A and B are shown apart, each in its own frame.
Chain A
Amino acid sequence: MKVQRFLARDRFPSLLERLEEAGYDVIGPQVRDHAIVFDTLPSVEALPRGVTDEQGPGHYRLAASHSGRYFDWANGPQALKPLTFVPRETLWTSKTRDDGTLVFREQPPEARPTAVIGVRACDLAALAIHDRHFLHGAEPDPHYRARRENLFLVAVNCSRSAATCFCTATGDGPRVRHGHDLALGELDDGFVVEAHTDRGRELLATLDTTEVTAEALDEVEAALERAAGQQHRRLPAGSLPDQLQAAVVHPHWQNLNDRCLTCGNCTAVCPTCFCQTHVDTLSLDGREAGHARQWETCFSPDHSYIHGTIIRAERPQRYRQWLTHKFGTWVEQFGRSGCVGCGRCIAWCPVGIDVTEELAALCQAPAPAPGQTPERAPSRAGDSATGDIPGRQEAGDD
């Protein structure tokens, strides 16, 4: 049953207080180093009140919003990913006993009940994708699970979109639908608070709220519509997996080769990318070892190093791998596209590569080069005049 109540702005601190009383560490958005990031929230005073963001390809700036609202911005460089799939953690340690045998010890995560305030619809969609991968497989990841099961999520319905947002194109926003405990709709004088889970309803019942008015609900709806209407980036019509498969050989990859830094920033800010690498550390006497995993990117040559060979060693192959996986083969793997339309890969690419534009170009049949026949036959794959990439047969394999 949907429970909706109105929480006056001056009562908003009580939400944090109740969460803390319930034993949660509270994490929320705040301004740090010229961006809105998620970190431990000492009080509502730390929220980015009166701050908004201006985003574009390779561009993110904070600006005054001229409103007293806390959530009058679209999104920052992080989503929930760093809280659940942490950037670096030790998985196990080992020790050599005096008799020369080894003893292994798991290193369980120190997960504490954590409430996150300010989660967006796109973040929740990404979390559902990670849940499917980390929780619902044959071997759930204990580290992810410990953190995930400790989360209490206070989501916010978006009232504005950044220029980089395109969640309406992926169907993941801007309305909060699934995966949260509470959802907020921010108005000037307070919040429409909607409970989605039992513990959300329990917490809501402890707040000093009033009945929600039809006007307040209308205003939240209007804000959602406005946010959706502000989005102008689209994805190509039709099946992206099919179109990308058909574009394995396409001159546009060469264009991307010229622009892509292979820095991996797109994958790091992507809320659904979960590539990792494992590193061992050793004590000086060689008797104790630690095995850690850390974020890795498919743009790093180490990532595809297998037995003396780097697969997809060339720069455009790496971008192609990321894009065709995210929008193409991901569907086969996980039943949906790996993109939730948050636009972070567009904003946080230092050189402003825009996935929506790249996809549009790749889904267009390439103009035949002068003196070339227009067909893109695989038998001519080695012919660089068609903009082909060496090693093309690897595309889409993983």
Chain B
Amino acid sequence: MITPHRRPRIAVHKFSSCDGCQLAFLNLGEPLLALAESVDILHFAEAGPVDESADVDIAFIEGSVATSADAARLRGIRERSRHVVTIGACATAGGLQALRNLADSEAWIEGIYARPEDIDLMADSTPIAKTIRVDLELWGCPVNGEQVLGVTQALLAGHLPHVDHAAVCTECKRRQTVCVMVARGTPCLGPVTSTGCGAICPQLQRGCYACYGPAVQANVAALSSYLVDTGMPADEIARRLLFINNQAPPFLDAGREWQARVIQRSGGEETS
């Protein structure tokens, strides 16, 4: 339990990301002010305080590791932090920018930048846990501020944070949201996606796009059969799977298979 003689210290670090997860934290409003009364927030660039080298009890990390400088900075944070909690898809799975892992990113750099030799880029955009030990991973694009707060409360009180691993469907049903797949035939990744968001998209009559990462037992093959039945072409299935959490293994494996089918098919057409 973190009940030292001093107030608990918190830092929120940013790596390759859009800042959206920091904003989700900021958008908490009043609870964040209450938090600031009981802890010292030493580093949180979006909110104001900047002291990246502070020793802290909880370091929240947004963003993926993209450069060698990122990796070095991250190792330092690990040394100075008691608990490391990743927040969001980038920090937890490499993020949208990890789509470059699936492409010839060197060719992109050559094509875009006037002086490509100045670009220090690692081969892949990787999740934080690939570089350092992580104590807890929170998914989402962006992360759910309430969930971050709940985890903070649990860690400060010294008990294991509760993170719901049920599929989005479970949360839809708890909220009595009508299933968009069954009642409308809308493609939805909810059955293979972990809850945490509060099932926001189906409540707004749209399908889930899996921003909270794969459910623990995601049966992506079975869901893909459903997507095929909705008339979705193979390339779109691949795109849906290789999206925000494209590096999460169940999505990556299945997405690559669907990509391979597209390539196979277009190759077949060329020869015919």
Interface residues of A (CB under 8 A from B): 32-35, 37, 58-61, 77-78, 82, 87-88, 258-265, 268-269, 279-286, 294-297, 299-302, 315, 318, 347-351
B103 to chain A, nearest CB (A): 30
Q: Are B173 and A265 touching (Cβ within 8 A)?
A: yes
Does B221 interact with chain A (Cβ within 8 Å)? yes
Q: Are B167 and A87 touching (Cβ within 8 A)?
A: no
Does B115 interact with chain A (Cβ within 8 Å)? no
Chain A's closest residue to B226 (CB) is A351
Known interface pairs A282-B153, A350-B181, A350-B226; A264-B174 also in contact (CB < 8 Å): no
Q: For B37, B216, B222, which residue has the most chain A Cβ atoms within 10 angstroms?
A: B222
Interface positions, chain B 148-205, Cβ under 8 Å from A, are: 149-150, 152-154, 156-157, 162, 164-167, 169-170, 173-179, 181-184, 188, 190-192, 205
Which residues on the A side are within 8 Å of B184 (C-beta)? 34
Interface positions, chain B 30-44, Cβ under 8 Å from A, are: 31, 34-35, 37-38
B263 to chain A, nearest CB (A): 25
Q: Are B219 and A297 touching (Cβ within 8 A)?
A: no
Q: Are A260 and B222 touching (Cβ within 8 A)?
A: yes
Does B77 interact with chain A (Cβ within 8 Å)? no
Bound Cα distance from A60 to B185, whole angstroms: 9
Contact of B38 among A32, A258, A284, A349 (CB under 8 A): A284
Does B215 interact with chain A (Cβ within 8 Å)? yes
Q: Are A280 and B183 touching (Cβ within 8 A)?
A: no
Known interface pairs A59-B182, A279-B162, A286-B157; A261-B192 also in contact (CB < 8 Å): yes
In the complex, number of A-B residue pairs with CB atoms less than 8 Å apart = 134
Does B50 interact with chain A (Cβ within 8 Å)? no
Does B225 interact with chain A (Cβ within 8 Å)? yes
Q: Are B38 and A285 touching (Cβ within 8 A)?
A: yes
Bound Cα distance from A283 to B30, whole angstroms: 13
Bound Cα distance from A239 to B247, whole angstroms: 48
Does B223 interact with chain A (Cβ within 8 Å)? yes
Q: Which 5 A-B pairs have the closest CB atoms?
A: A268-B173, A263-B191, A261-B191, A87-B174, A263-B169
Chain A's closest residue to B167 (CB) is A263
Known interface pairs A33-B205, A58-B182; A294-B150 also in contact (CB < 8 Å): no
Bound Cα distance from A33 to B182, whole angstroms: 11
Q: Are A265 and B178 touching (Cβ within 8 A)?
A: no
Q: How many residues of B contact A (CB 8 A)?
A: 44
Q: For B31, B149, B169, B223, which residue has the most chain A Cβ atoms within 10 angstroms?
A: B169
Given contacts A265-B169, A284-B156, 14 further A-B contacts (CB under 8 A): A37-B176, A82-B176, A88-B174, A261-B169, A262-B215, A264-B167, A268-B173, A268-B174, A282-B150, A300-B216, A301-B216, A301-B217, A302-B165, A351-B222
Q: Are B179 and A350 touching (Cβ within 8 A)?
A: yes
Contact of A297 among B162, B166, B188 (CB under 8 A): B166
Bound Cα distance from A100 to B20, whole angstroms: 40
Q: Are B182 and A294 touching (Cβ within 8 A)?
A: no
Contact of B170 among A77, A268, A285 (CB under 8 A): A268
Q: Are A347 and B182 touching (Cβ within 8 A)?
A: yes
Q: Please name 22 pairs of A and B residues whose Cβ atoms are closer than 8 Å in the assembled complex, sorted by A.
A: A33-B178, A59-B182, A60-B179, A61-B183, A77-B178, A77-B183, A87-B176, A260-B219, A261-B169, A264-B167, A264-B169, A268-B169, A294-B174, A297-B170, A299-B217, A300-B165, A300-B167, A302-B166, A318-B217, A347-B182, A351-B222, A351-B225
Q: Are B219 and A261 touching (Cβ within 8 A)?
A: yes
Bound Cα distance from A281 to B31, whole angstroms: 14
Which residues on the B side are within 8 Å of A33 (C-beta)? 177-178, 183, 205
Which residues on the A side are within 8 Å of B174 (C-beta)? 87-88, 268, 294-295
Q: Are A35 and B169 touching (Cβ within 8 A)?
A: no
Chain B's closest residue to A353 (CB) is B222
A391 to chain B, nearest CB (A): 14
Q: Are A87 and B175 touching (Cβ within 8 A)?
A: yes
Chain B's closest residue to A78 (CB) is B176
Q: Are A263 and B190 touching (Cβ within 8 A)?
A: yes
Which residues on the B side are within 8 Å of A280 (C-beta)? 162
Q: Are A283 and B153 touching (Cβ within 8 A)?
A: yes
B161 to chain A, nearest CB (A): 10
B31 to chain A, nearest CB (A): 7
A116 to chain B, nearest CB (A): 15
Bound Cα distance from A61 to B165, whole angstroms: 30
Known interface pairs A262-B217, A281-B150; A295-B170 also in contact (CB < 8 Å): yes
Q: Are B166 and A264 touching (Cβ within 8 A)?
A: yes
Known interface pairs A282-B154, A284-B34, A348-B182; A300-B170 also in contact (CB < 8 Å): yes
B174 to chain A, nearest CB (A): 4
Which residues on the B side are within 8 Å of A294 (C-beta)? 174
Chain A's closest residue to B149 (CB) is A284
Bound Cα distance from A269 to B177, whole angstroms: 11
Q: Are B219 and A77 touching (Cβ within 8 A)?
A: no
Chain B's closest residue to A32 (CB) is B178
